């Protein structure tokens, strides 16, 4: 039998709100479904429940859109309150075309609408913003899991991003803790002794995508998954390591 990697969705996590203990909710749900968290698991948690417990949810009816937000809202056919939140969360507008508003977030991520999201929040009147510091969110969650269970796990906070050159979305890591974000094979020899010049695998993004297969889609009942049996290097670096510097970006 080969080594095998398992992806386990965690069912039965209750709807969480600001201040709730997300670590406890996940540990309890995993235990209850018969798959308690074990040492070296990779726990992938979707951004939205992290944002909720961190109080990053805003009622759209309470947002005062700026003049710019109102103007862009008309242009893009978007709710000006949402545009206002998008602008507050952004460092730069990268592209604007049709109904698309691609921004660079405060963290340096380039994505649609600064990651501001109205689905699965509360019926369209509220929007969830990305965590202020998703690497810190991941570290806190990892630490709290260790405190409650004694287990060391890697934690990834995932979100769903589009890709500039391919149709469709995949989940990527916006925050991580306890795992090296990149597996760097530059300089290693391949099977024929050829030294590979370029190969840096974005491990945490691949793990986020793998977890999404179990997390699925519109059903918030599964906002987290565990990946078990994957060997990874430990690291204090976070997902910010995957943020591309503007000067290295060929497509800005």
Between 59 and 199, whose beta carbon lies closer to a second copy? 199
- Rounded Cα gap, residues 48 and 180, in angstroms: 23
Q: Which residue has the tokens 């998703």?
A: 134
- Counted residue by residue, the chain has a size of 252
Q: List binders of a second copy among 134-163 (CB under 8 A).
A: 160, 163
The reply on whether position 18 binds a second copy by CB under 8 A is no
Q: List binders of a second copy among 36-75 (CB under 8 A).
A: none
Between 59 and 219, whose beta carbon lies closer to a second copy? 219
The reply on whether position 205 binds a second copy by CB under 8 A is yes
The reply on whether position 130 binds a second copy by CB under 8 A is no
Between 74 and 122, whose beta carbon lies closer to a second copy? 122
Closest approach, Cβ 140 to a second copy, in A, equals 24
Using CB under 8 A, count the residues that bind a second copy.
80
Q: What is the DSSP string of 122-143?
A: STTSEEEPPPS-HHHHHHHHHH
157 contacts 176 by C-beta, under 8 angstroms: yes
In degrees rounded to 5, what are phi and psi of residue 195? -80, 120
Residue 3, SS3? Answer: coil
The reply on whether position 8 binds a second copy by CB under 8 A is yes
Q: List binders of a second copy among 160-199 (CB under 8 A).
A: 160, 163-172, 181-183, 185, 188-194, 196-199
Between 120 and 144, whose beta carbon lies closer to a second copy? 120
Between 132 and 213, whose beta carbon lies closer to a second copy? 213
In the list 67, 123, 147, 150, the residue contacting a second copy (rule: CB under 8 A) is 123
Task: List Cα–Cα distances, 138 to 4, 61, 153, 173, 238, in angstroms.
Answer: 25, 30, 11, 10, 9
Residue 174, SS3? Answer: strand
């Amino acid at each position: 039998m080969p080594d095998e990697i398992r992806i386990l969705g965690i069912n039965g996590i209750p709807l969480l709100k600001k201040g709730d203990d997300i670590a406890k909710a996940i540990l309890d749900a995993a235990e209850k479904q018969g798959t308690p968290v074990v040492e070296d698991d990779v726990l992938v948690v979707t951004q939205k429940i992290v944002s909720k417990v961190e109080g990053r949810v805003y009622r759209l009816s309470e947002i005062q859109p700026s003049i710019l937000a109102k103007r862009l809202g008309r242009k893009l056919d978007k709710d000006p309150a949402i545009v206002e939140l998008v602008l507050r969360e952004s460092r730069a507008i990268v592209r604007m075309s049709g109904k698309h508003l691609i921004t660079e977030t405060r963290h340096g991520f380039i994505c649609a609408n600064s990651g501001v999201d109205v689905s699965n929040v509360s019926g369209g009147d509220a929007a969830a913003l990305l965590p202020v510091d998703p690497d810190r969110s991941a570290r806190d969650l990892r630490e709290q899991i260790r405190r409650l269970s004694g287990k060391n796990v890697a934690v990834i906070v995932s979100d769903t991003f589009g890709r500039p050159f391919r149709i469709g979305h995949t989940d990527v890591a916006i925050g991580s803790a306890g795992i090296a974000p990149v597996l760097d094979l530059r300089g290693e020899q391949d099977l024929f002794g050829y030294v590979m010049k370029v190969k840096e695998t974005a491990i945490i993004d691949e793990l986020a995508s793998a977890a999404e297969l179990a997390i699925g889609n519109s059903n918030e009942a599964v906002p987290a998954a565990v990946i078990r049996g994957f060997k990874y290097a430990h690291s204090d670096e976070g997902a910010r390591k995957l943020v591309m510097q503007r000067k290295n970006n060929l497509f800005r």
